[in-house]
Amino acid sequence: MEESELNQYTAENIQILDEIEAVRLRPGMYIGTTGREGLHHLLYELVYNSVDEAMAGFCDQIEVTIHKDNGVTVVDNGRGIPTETMSTANITALEAVMTHLHAGAKFGGPVYNTSSGLHGVGASVVNALSSWLQVEIRRQGKIYRQDYRRGIPTGEIQATEDSPDTGTTITFLADEEIFENLDYDFDTICQRLRELAFLNKGVQISLKDERTYQEKTFYFEGGIASFVNRLNRNRAVICPSPIYLSATVDSTIIEATLQYNDSFTESTSSFANCVNTRDGGSHLTGFRSALTHAFNDYSKKNKLIKDTEPNLTGDDVRQGLVAIISVKLPKPQFEGQTKTKLGNPEVRSQVESAVTDNLSLYLEQHPSEARAIINKCLLTAKAREAARKARDLVFKRTGLEASTLPGKLAECSEKNPASCELYLVEGDSAGGSAKQGRDRRFQAILPLRGKILNVEKAPKDKIVAHEELRAIVTALRTNTDEQFDLSKLRYHLVIIMTDADVDGSHIRTLLLTFFYRHMIEAINQGHLFIAQPPLYRIRCGKKQFWIYSEQEKEDKLKELEGNKLEVQRYKGLGEMSPEQLWSTTMNPATRTLLQVKVEDAIAADQAFRMLMGNEVLPRRNFIQAHAQNVRNLDI
Ligand code: 0RA
């Protein structure tokens, strides 16, 4: 901080300087990183303040602009931050909000401060980390302005012209002394603003990018119900409009929406104060038990299930379910390593009772929708029962565990799972080459014949009965779904090896879908990989080169220009000898493996629904768009 700036300050402002200093010294403590994420966090932080004002019922428009110089403006039409001097201190409320950490909620009455992000740090942190910031307040018939440099006001609040409007405009330039760069990403911001617009119905949020002349506006009258509609846009649904429920219990605002489609999987997202709680928490638990409760009560009462028949299970009511549970509460506790699990224990019963009551009421008032949904749940229950019987039958027929291993599995001799690998290989002939080429001490091979069942379109009993999938499950020893037990995993590396053609990529997608839906923990814990067989061999005299991408091929051809070359394309694994397969694709010293990761669960879920669902068109578009890219597959 420069001397001259310090001199303008009197003793009572020393505390402010200390706070600004603290933020600038350790920005990571307040915004996580000073990289891309932290930079975007600044922008979101201001939007959250405007969203709070919207939630308090005083604002319905928020406009974000990224300027050419990477300055950012956030405008809202709320009440405007108060500009009056506070009775308790010698500064204005505005200055307090802009310079004190966590000042926001303390001033001007009960501000409902619930949409705070992961850190919930507020405007003062944005201010401290900006090389300059300008506030314009429209309030009480006037326009007020105040400027700041690196968090410190450069002068008093100025009342300038008159204006009948109300609202707050903040423009800031993130400090290049703090941030690695100021490259805002339009799409990333769009995604977050769209989500915020879904979660705050009736609020219009727009984004304008003056660098690229892009513009987007988000407004959803139906809020999260519109979100569910969008998630289901490629699916056949059981009832055309999602069920929407809302209630306020104590000071917790609860919204839930649900709709069933014809699939066999569940996709429920939960939010607390607009934060996606990927690890769930008390609100999700409450929501789930409410569903089971309400559907069972209704079914028994209306004789859709006889008194003597068993209840629907949680699983039965969740198949094909797309749902969102969103809560807003004054003091959220975020838990877990990534702070994406809601802790507040009271929320569980608040959500459970509100959703049970409101859902029961909905079912009473919509008997035909209720019947359609319950019929679907009963079908699921039937399939579950059939699957259990099929499993029992298999168990009886084949007897002891050891003998249930698939006959075509070529085991490895090593017993310690941590050093063992299983190759899932497309086709018997490639399987044969892999069996001959492998290192049999630690590499096991399971050849897969023909197409794998599309688990996205099959009921549970079909999945259990499918021979290739059963072979995989028994070879891995982990079982699936609720019975999945990672500690039983026989091979810590599970490697999918398919041909580099359309069939190969289809089989790989089918396998990935299966793992994603039925053994997600194996993916989360980093056990699933994709082998990278070469695409070409280039011979140049006595030398030969294995080529793994089109780019590599171009580079190599350039490098060897002028020589007599022989280029051979490899489409199938079967075209390679066992030795070639070993040295190019299986030898740990020389091979490349792609580890399968699920970065963004909602996006992955969408991708699978689209790829594996019934609609042909989006699937074809997706596969075409990514055909060049399958080597970098990160689901
Ligand atoms: C405190 C009190 C009042 C409004 C706000 C804060 C406020 C803060 C922000 C931040 C961005 N936009 C905002 N809009 C409003 C209300 C005081 C009153 O008029 O009663």
Instruction: Find the mean pLDDT for residues 383-408.
Output: 65
Whose CA is closest to atom 18 on ligand 1? Answer: 108
Instruction: Check residues 79 and 111 and name the one with the higher pLDDT.
Output: 79
pLDDT of residue 337: 83
| Domains, the chain, ordered by start | 19-218 (3.30.565.10), 224-387 (3.30.230.10), 401-533+593-607 (3.40.50.670)
Distance CA 502, CA 348 (A): 47
Whether residue 2 lies in the annotated active site: no
pLDDT tens-digit map of 510-537: 999 999 989 999 998 999 999 989 999 9
Amino acid at 614: N
| Amino acid (one-letter) located at 125 | V
Taking residue 61's Cβ as centre, other Cβ atoms within 10 Å add up to: 17
At 216, the pLDDT band (50, 70, 90 cuts) reads very high
User: According to the model, what pLDDT value does residue 118 have?
Assistant: 31
For residues 310 and 76, give the distance between their C-alpha atoms in angstroms, rounded to a whole number. Answer: 54
Catalytic residue (one of 315, 414, 503, 552): 503
Phi, psi of 265 (to 5 degrees): -120, 165
| Atom in ligand 1 nearest the alpha carbon of residue 167 | 14
Can 503 be counted among the known catalytic residues?
yes
Number of H helices and E strands in the chain, helices first, is 21, 24
- Pocket lining for ligand 1, CB < 6 angstroms: 49-50, 53, 76, 78-82, 107-109, 111, 168
Mean pLDDT of 81-108: 75
Q: What is the pTM of this model?
A: 0.70
pLDDT for 331 equals: 87
Q: Is residue 247 over pLDDT 60?
A: yes
- In whole angstroms, give the CA distance from residue 381 to residue 379: 5
pLDDT, tens digit, 9 for 90 and up, residues 163-178: 999 999 999 999 999 9
Cα(300)–Cα(256) distance, integer angstroms: 24
Rounded CA-CA distance 584/534 in Å is 7
Q: Report the alpha-carbon distance of residue 328 to residue 361 in Å, rounded.
A: 23
Does the annotation mark 499 as catalytic? yes
Residue 41, C-beta contacts closer than 8 angstroms, at least 6 positions apart: 31, 32, 117, 118, 119
Ligand 1: distance of its center to the CA of 18 in Å?
Answer: 25
Q: Is the dihedral of CA 349, 354, 357, 359 positive or negative?
A: negative
Mean pLDDT, rounded, for 577-604: 84
Q: Which of 4-8, 79-83, 334-338 holds the top average pLDDT?
A: 79-83
Element (H, E) at 63: strand 61-66
The most confident of 80-94, 314-328, 379-393, by mean pLDDT: 314-328
> Which range, of 318-322, 401-405, 604-608, averages the lowest pLDDT?
401-405
Query: 49, 60, 113: which to mutate for ligand 1, most atoms within 8 A of CB?
Result: 49
Lowest mean pLDDT among 54-68, 365-379, 447-461: 447-461
Q: Name the pLDDT band for 633 (thresholds 50, 70, 90).
A: very low
Per-residue burial over 160-177, b if 16 or more Cβ lie within 10 Å, else e, is eeebeebbbbbbbbbbee
What is the whole-number distance in angstroms between the Cα of residue 167 and the centre of ligand 1?
8
Considering the candidates 426, 456, 461, 605, report the single residue annotated as catalytic.
426
Is 426 marked active-site? yes
Ligand 1 centre distance from Cα of residue 158 (Å): 18
CA distances to 191, 411, 480, 482, 635 from 513, rounded to whole Å, are 25, 25, 13, 17, 10
3-state SS, one letter per residue, for 403-443: HHCCCCCECCCCCCHHHCEEEEEECHHHHHHHHHHCCCCCE
pLDDT value of position 393:
64
- Find the mean pLDDT for residues 65-72: 98
* Structure-token pair, residue 280: 């769930």
* pLDDT of the residue at 121: 60
> Which residue has 């090389």 as its token pair?
131
Burial class (CB in 10 A: 0-12, 13-18, 19+), 33: middle
Chain-centre distance for alpha carbon 218: 20
Q: For residue 586, what is the DSSP state?
A: I
Helix (H) or strand (E) holding 367: helix 367-398
Per-residue pLDDT, 600: 59
* 1 has a pLDDT exceeding 70: no
Separation of CA 82 and ligand 1 centre (Å): 6
Which CA distances in Å does 13 have to 152, 607, 621? Answer: 10, 53, 60
* Residue 6 in this model has a pLDDT that exceeds 50: no
Q: With contact defined as beta carbons under 8 Å apart, do 534 and 548 qualify?
A: yes
